[in-house]
Amino acid sequence: MASASLERRRTLTLAACIIGSSLAFIDATVVIVALPTIEEDLNLGLTGQQWVFLSYSLALASLYLVGGALGDRMGRRTVFVGGVIGFAAASLIAGVAPNGPVLIAARALQGVAGAFLTTNSLALIRSVYVDEAGKAIGRWTAYTSLATIIGPPAGGAIVEWTSWRWIFLLNLPFAIATVVLARAGRCEEKRAEHIGRLDLPGAVLAALGFGFLTYGAVEAADRGFDETWWALLVGGFALAAFAVVERRVQEPMLPFALFRRRNLAAANIETFLAYGALYGFLVYFTLFMQTIGFTPFEAGLITTPTTLVMILLAARFGALADKHGPRLFLAVGPALAGLAILLTFSITSRDDFWLPGIAALLVFSFGLAVMVAPITAAALKSAPTELAGIASGVNATVSRLGSLTAVATIGLVVALTFDRHTDAAGAEPLTKDQSGDVLAASVSGYRAGMLVAVGLAFGAALVGALWISNREALREPETTSAAAAPAAR
């Protein structure tokens, strides 16, 4: 009876982690489909649309490692439940937001809560299931992936047939269910074996650095560099201070010593570039689809095969990389993604989308499937076993920072190119119901922005081809004692 009771509580905990994580994952992408409609309703412009996406990503990237550290100290279930409650409160504010600034602030709060929610979701599963965690994590992956597939078309349908506000308000009942399940599933958890000091100065400086750099790049498109240069300067100084602090604190948020390892450094640099290309393409391609006449539901449905192909094939390519080494996969995958983005350059209207658009999405999906599992495995396997958790947190943070930087930079390029190609008063790039010269200017802006994404993808491919080492990847994992020496300062 006791064993059955424990198993039931574990199952309830797993269900809570799946639902809670799915909320955070879906809200990271489903809002992309809704951006043109939100812009139309709240008069955001391209800059406002960028901030609706970037404020969430910026908070996540800044607080991933802090969220995990707090879970180790205060209890993963406690922090997880707190994150879910915070996410629900922020979703309510987003759902009733009367204007752009309130919505952007609510999205930032969603990101803060999401960082604590997502990092402690898997940690809670590991600590509850202990030696049986592999199967539970597999179920978590399967169900959260299914939610990610359903999210964009479901979000598009909600936006098209009800209101964009419901993509946030529908989080509330699911959040309540998550809290109920998490509390009902309370059971003994394996505590972290080592708890050091929390690197708050590092976390604050990283958030300030990337926040000000993002602000400077995004607002420059709307207001000009002469009014935003100070933000770029502050961001640069903050990141420089971050590097100094991380080299001096006893337990840094970002341990630079790890980057002495060839594959770990290469895999994280490739992650930054590849995920920048991935999100840069998906964000602006989805906006572009609605600019040329697709509805929100259709735009969400069009991108669904990308996730589906990745889920079906990613594990197989991960297994092949484990057997033969990741170098080939990390060169070919990003190159295919870059080629796919180039294929979309021939699209200028809804009518000429079908052949190049479908071909591009198939090639892009295949490229992601080739790359995603090997790049993550290369980053984690190259770290000592005892630092696998830190390596995972670093890689997740780097992927978010890559997407954050790319979306801000591409938006700036899109806006500047659009302005050069049209004199229409009050016109904004990549908004709905465009025609004539304004539509042509948006097409030009899209192509210019996507050249940045192509450059990031091909840059990632070069890193994979020239820097990743199969020999290092195929070595046996280091023991704790062997790992200690290189990591020592």
Domain end: 184, 213, 242, which one?
Answer: 184
The CATH number given to whatever domain includes residue 108 is 1.20.1250.20
Please tell me the least confidently modeled range out of 187-201, 212-226, 299-313: 187-201
> Do 394 and 482 fall within a single domain?
yes
Which pLDDT band, with edges at 50, 70 and 90, does 485 fall under? very low
Residue 1, class by beta-carbon neighbours within 10 Å (0-12 exposed, 13-18 middle, 19+ buried)? exposed
CA 199 to centroid of chain Cα atoms: 23
Query: What gap in Å lies between CA 37 and CA 312, rounded to an integer?
Result: 32
pLDDT digits over 212-232, tens only?
888 888 888 777 788 888 988
Whether 152 is in a domain gets the answer yes
pLDDT digits over 238-253, tens only?
989 988 988 888 777 6
Whether 93 is in a domain gets the answer yes
> Do 217 and 129 fall within a single domain?
no
Is the separation of the CB atoms in 304 and 32 below 8 Å? no
**Mean pLDDT across the stretch 417-427?**
87
CA 377 to centroid of chain Cα atoms: 17
Which residue type, as a one-letter code, is found at position 480?
A: T
> Do 161 and 272 fall within a single domain?
no
Which pLDDT band, with edges at 50, 70 and 90, does 175 fall under? very high
Please tell me the least confidently modeled range out of 99-103, 212-216, 474-478: 474-478
Is the separation of the CB atoms in 254 and 202 below 8 Å? yes
Residue 217, class by beta-carbon neighbours within 10 Å (0-12 exposed, 13-18 middle, 19+ buried)? buried
Tokens describing residue 100: 């752009």
> Do 269 and 350 fall within a single domain?
yes
> Do 321 and 304 fall within a single domain?
yes
The more confident residue out of 472 and 285 is: 285
Query: Quick check: 329 pLDDT over 80?
Result: yes
Which pLDDT band, with edges at 50, 70 and 90, does 133 fall under? low
Give pLDDT, residue 138. Answer: 63
Domain end: 192, 215, 250, which one?
Answer: 250
SS (H, E, C) the chain: CHHHHHHHHHHHHHHHHHHHHHHHHHHHHHHHHHHHHHHHHHCCHHHHHHHHHHHHHHHHHHHHHHHHHHHHHHCHHHHHHHHHHHHHHHHHHHHCCCCHHHHHHHHHHHHHHHHHHHHHHHHHHHHHHHHHHHHHHHHHHHHHHHHHHHHHHHHHHHHHHCCCCHHHHCHHHHHHHHHHHHHHCCCCCCCCCCCCCCCHHHHHHHHHHHHHHHHHHHHHHHHCHHHHHHHHHHHHHHHHHHHHHHHHCCCCCCCHHHHHCHHHHHHHHHHHHHHHHHHHHHHHHHHHHHHCCCCHHHHHHHCHHHHHHHHHHHHHHHHHHHHHCCHHHHHHHHHHHHHHHHHHHHCCCCCCCHHHHHHHHHHHHHHHHHHHHHHHHHHHHCCCHHHHHHHHHHHHHHHHHHHHHHHHHHHHHHHHHHHHHCCCCCCCCCCCCCCHHHHHHHHHHHHHHHHHHHHHHHHHHHHHHHCCCHHHHCCCCCCHHHHHHHHCC
Which pLDDT band, with edges at 50, 70 and 90, does 205 fall under? confident
> Do 234 and 307 fall within a single domain?
no
> Do 59 and 4 fall within a single domain?
yes
State the residue range of the domain holding 213: 200-250
> Do 105 and 241 fall within a single domain?
no
> Do 178 and 233 fall within a single domain?
no
Whether 140 is in a domain gets the answer yes
Give pLDDT, residue 477. Answer: 54
Whether 161 is in a domain gets the answer yes
Provide the number of structural domains found in the chain: 3
> Do 145 and 293 fall within a single domain?
no
The more confident residue out of 348 and 213 is: 348
> Do 389 and 273 fall within a single domain?
yes
> Do 391 and 472 fall within a single domain?
yes
Whether 473 is in a domain gets the answer yes
Q: What is the share, in percent, of the chain residues with pLDDT greater than 70? A: 90
Query: Quick check: 486 pLDDT over 60?
Result: no
Among residues 235, 189, 240, the alpha carbon closest in space to that of 212 is found at 235
Give pLDDT, residue 124. Answer: 84
Query: Quick check: 177 pLDDT over 80?
Result: yes
Among residues 197, 160, 161, 180, the alpha carbon closest in space to that of 84 is found at 180
Whether 194 is in a domain gets the answer no
Give pLDDT, residue 388. Answer: 60
Is the separation of the CB atoms in 382 and 472 below 8 Å? yes
Give pLDDT, residue 349. Answer: 92
Query: Quick check: 1 pLDDT over 50?
Result: no
Give pLDDT, residue 46. Answer: 87
Is the separation of the CB atoms in 336 and 363 below 8 Å? yes
Whether 193 is in a domain gets the answer no
Domain end: 250, 268, 289, which one?
Answer: 250
pLDDT digits over 15-72, tens only?
999 999 899 888 888 898 999 999 989 988 888 898 998 899 888 877 877 777 777 7
Mean pLDDT value across the chain: 85
Whether 192 is in a domain gets the answer no
Give pLDDT, residue 483. Answer: 40
Query: What gap in Å lies between CA 225 and CA 227, rounded to an integer?
Result: 5
